[in-house]
Structure 1
């Protein structure tokens, strides 16, 4: 069921289905329940369920087959690679630099009459 948490319902549904795929409850090649059944299960509209399935399609976790349904991909998209400590250090330095530059711009703008 979609909860009133402030997070959009379609993202809650996508999160739940994604977790089922990653945990193995929905195995590669397995069909997702129909849009109607998912709407009933999550007490959501068909359009909200379709948005959730669209999110999973964009992530490469499911694939639609015209006239047959939506299936868990045989080889779901791999998780993004973790950044190395050197990359994280570089990202932090860049963020620090941008923060300092933004502070200077804001200061200059606030000094104007």
Structure 2
């Protein structure tokens, strides 16, 4: 079975935190540097995670302010 890429795993961790309500709408995500240190991955890997989350509408970027969690009602399906 193929291993899940790091960027996918990191994005899944963020989604899991939203589902468990550890992250709420409007919460600011940690900086790229903080996530790089936490996961031991490259800048590009974190950028790819953020790109995946943005494509799924889990996050929104605000130029000069940061990256924030969106309202899960707009993207999360009930299990």
Over 4 Å off, 4+ runs: none
| Equivalent residue, structure 2, for 1:56 | 53
Q: CA deviation at 1:22?
A: 1.4
Given that 2:58 and 2:75 are in contact with CA atoms closer than 8 Å, whether structure 1 keeps it comes out as: no
Structure 1 residues not aligned, in runs of 5+: 83-113
| Equivalent residue, structure 2, for 1:8 | 5
Q: CA deviation at 1:65?
A: 0.1
| Equivalent residue, structure 2, for 1:66 | 63
Give me the TM-score of the superposition, normalised by structure 2: 0.87
In 2, the alpha carbon distance for the partners of 1:12 and 1:80 equals: 19
Q: CA RMSD, aligned part only?
A: 1.8
Aligned residues: 77
Higher RCO structure (Cα 8 Å, ≥6 apart): 2
Which has the higher Rg, Structure 1 or Structure 2? 1
Structure 2 residues not aligned, in runs of 5+: none
